[in-house]
Amino acid sequence: MLTIGLTHYLVLAAVLFCCGLYVMTTKRNAVGILIGAELVLNAACLNLVAFSRYRTGRLDGQIAALFVIVLAAAEAAIAIAIFVNYYRLLSTIDADEGRQLRG
C-alpha cells in the first residue's frame, strides 16, 4: 500500500471511468454527456501514462495520451458546435428530445 505502483493508478482510472460512464448514461443535458465523455477519456489517459511509466519504460504511453487529449479537444469543439445547432433546431439541450433519427 505504501509504495505506489501501477495498480494504484489503474484503480483510480477505473473509478474515473465508471463515474464518466454513469454521467454519460444518466445525464440528459447534452453538455453533461460531453463532460462524461471527457471523464472517460481522462481515465484512459491516466492508464496510458501509468503503463508508460511503470511497464513499457518508453514514451509511447505519454504520446498516446497526448493524442487523446488533442482528440478530446477536437471532439469537444465539434460536440459543442452540434449542440448549438441542436439547440437552435429544438430549443432544448435535452439529449432525449432528439428523436428524429429514430426508426
The interface with another protein within residues 39-58 (CB under 8 A) comprises: 39, 42, 45-46, 49-50, 52-58
Footprint of another protein on 60-89 (CB under 8 A): 60, 62-63, 65-67, 69-74, 76-78, 80-85, 87-88
Residue 59 has φ and ψ, to the nearest 5°, of -90, -5
Q: Which three cell numbers stand for residue 62?
A: 505519454
Q: Which is nearer to another protein, 88 or 102 (CB)?
A: 88
Could you tell me which of 9, 33, 4, 5 has the C-alpha nearest to residue 21?
33
Q: Is 27 helix (H, G, I), strand (E, B) or coil?
A: coil
Using CB under 8 A as the binding rule, whether residue 25 contacts another protein is answered as: yes
